[in-house]
Amino acid sequence: MYMEEARKRLENKVAERKGELRELLQMAATNEPSQACWHQAELARIPIDGAEQDIKVATSDLTVSLAHARVLQSRASAKATEAIAALAREAALPRPLLAFHYWAAETFELFQRRMARARRMTYLFLRAVEHDLQRNYNLDAAVINATHPQQLHDIAMGLGDELIHGMEQRRPEPSFRIVSLCKDVLRLPELNHETDCNGPKSQRRFREILYSPANAVYEAGEYLGQNIPFRLTPAGLTTRWMSTFSLDYSFEP
């Protein structure tokens, strides 16, 4: 609007100037002495005509730009109107709730049953570990009030680590005792009043026992070896968690 008014005012000014110029030319035709002055006026009209042409070109460009701006504005208005209509259309469409599921109730009930069973199994595992290690981890409330399987998993993993390390600390070291058949079982040095089985009487008696035909073992007429019966009394043993006994019956022939 403002550009149109400016263009009209400019055209009016140009028309006024042209009218004044025509009046000057008419006066020049009747006034011969002022021909030189009118000639200068003719020369001054040339740049005015060039400026008028530049104004026309600029006015034409402005008109084209205004038309393009109106086209872009109409397109933007159309897009805005289309967006408002699309939003209204989407808002009017019926849709289910985001959390809706046809089998949600059944799935949730199944999860609750499995979670309850997992809590019971974890609680039993906690009690077993506490009984084996004779410790109290104060995890009863954490197991009973667990609402996610990851909570029970973390508790079970921690109890497993405690059980492994606790059993390693409580594991007794194996011990063993070598019992001599000659000295500890048959007690030959004691019976022969000798210090050990290297005494002559003990060696001779031990050799007799080993090679005695009464101690020979046969099966289906085939000789298998010597069988020496003996008995170990509790006085000669040490009660431990793990004991390994081996018999040393080596002798000098």
Q: What is the pLDDT of residues 145-180, one digit of tens each?
A: 999 999 999 999 998 888 887 765 555 555 666 777
Side-chain-facing half-sphere of 242: CA atoms under 13 Å = 5
From CA 197, how far away is CA 204, in angstroms rounded? 10
The enclosing H or E element of 75 equals: helix 35-92
Spell out where the chain has E strands: 175-180, 216-219, 222-226, 243-248
Q: Which residues of the chain have pLDDT under 50?
A: 237-253
Which residues have a Cβ under 8 Å from the Cβ of 93 and sit 6 or more positions away?
A: none
Q: Global pTM?
A: 0.32
Give per-residue burial for 59-83: e unless 16+ CB within 10 Å, then b. beeeeeeeeeeeeeeeeeeeeeeee
pLDDT value, residue 63: 87
Cα 199 from chain centre: 77
